[in-house]
Structure 1
Amino acid sequence: MRLDKFLKISRIIKRRSVAKEVADKGRIQINGKVAKSSSSVKIGDQLQIQFGNRIVIYEIRELHESTKKEDAAQMYTLISDEKQASED
């Protein structure tokens, strides 16, 4: 499954166009490698996403073509959510 589609379906990022933009700016890594929106994801992959000064790491548990809102959180496990120290 494409990275941007996974982010939308799992509701980590609400819109696919936003997921594509974030990925294409180099803010997402899959298993430690910078990923593009068209990169393929599979079960067991770790996603590291930079949201401003936060770095969030998820592990993919399930892949679905579509999902209900209440089932979306089962597609991944939150591993870490850390704020980066701001550089003054």
Structure 2
Amino acid sequence: MRLDKYLKVSRLIKRRTVAKEACDEGRVLVNGKIAKAGTEVKVGDVIEIQLGSRTVKAMVTQLHEHALKEDAAEMYKLL
């Protein structure tokens, strides 16, 4: 699954366009490397997002094309 789509479906970032912009600006890392929006994400990857002055670090636990609001939090584990 594409990184920008995963960030949106898992609700780590609210909109896919915002997720793409964050990737384009180099504020998203996957396994310690700067990632583009089209980077393929798989279970076990660690995603680090720099949002303003805070950093969110999460490990991918599940991949779903669509997720309900209640199920979105199960797609990752905060580190």
TM-score band by shorter chain is: over 0.9
For residues 48 and 9 of structure 1, the distance between their equivalents in structure 2, rounded to whole angstroms, comes to 16
* Alpha-carbon RMSD: 0.4
Q: Who wins on radius of gyration, i.e. which is larger?
A: 1
Matches within 5 A, 1:1-88: 1-79=1-79
Give the structure-2-normalised TM-score: 0.98
For residues 45 and 35 of structure 1, the distance between their equivalents in structure 2, rounded to whole angstroms, comes to 12
Q: Which runs of 5+ in 2 are unaligned?
A: none
User: Which string of whole-angstrom CA distances, capped at 9 and with x for unpartnered residues, describes residues 59-78 of structure 1?
Assistant: 00000000100000000000
How many residues are treated as equivalent by the alignment?
79
For residues 24 and 35 of structure 2, the distance between their equivalents in structure 1, rounded to whole angstroms, comes to 8
* SS in structure 2 at match of 1:74: helix
Give the structure-1-normalised TM-score: 0.88
